[in-house]
Structure 1
């Protein structure tokens, strides 16, 4: 270990350096532990925000009607031996549907 004091990082504000220089060794260790934990917390928050942002970038399908939410999925319903596509989504406790078209457009 050197007898010379360490050089602070160039990007650390002077006020922070001066404050740290006034701290006793035990308080410096507390500040260092807190700074490390805070840095990990902020990195985790940024990562979670980035991941949630990726989820929100879902594109709305071109054939989705304006009155159907983007979270809707397609389902097939059979009525009188004919099969049809429906948009389907949940609103609270209810499941909503909207007609999309026949499964086989030639029918």
Structure 2
């Protein structure tokens, strides 16, 4: 083990280096534990997002319009005693719909 302090990575912001240099050994151990857990969490989120993007492409129905997301579901709406299929999906706090076709009474 060297008696010289370690050299911080060049891409690490000066503020973080100064904070680490001012920290106690116990704080540094806690920081290291937290940093490892945070890396695992962010890596997992990235994998899940990548997986969801791939599933969205694979599961996209053939008749789904380009401006409708793959997560949309088909809903039946009744308007003036007539029934219609609509694509429906959540966009933030709103629910959006797009007309698909009339419901065939024979179904």
- Runs of 5+ consecutive residues of structure 1 not aligned to the other structure: 72-88, 99-107
TM-score normalised according to structure 2 size:
0.57
Structure 2, unmatched stretches of 5+, are 77-84, 86-102
Aligned length: 74
Aligned-pair Cα RMSD in Å: 2.9
Partner in structure 2 of residue 42 of structure 1:
42
The structure whose Rg is larger is 1
1:32 alignment counterpart = 32
The ranges of structure 1 where at least 4 consecutive aligned residues each deviate by more than 2 angstroms after the TM superposition are: 58-61, 89-92
Distance 1:27 1:70, change over 3 A: closer
For the 8 Å contact 1:60–1:70, the answer to whether it is kept is: no
1:74 aligns to what? none
* Partner SS state of residue 12, structure 1: coil
- The aligned runs of 1:28-107 (5 Å cut-off) are 28-58=28-58, 59-61=60-62, 64=63
So what's the TM-score if we normalise by structure 1? 0.57
> What's 2:89 paired with?
none
Shift of 1:60: 4.2
Equivalence for 2:88: none
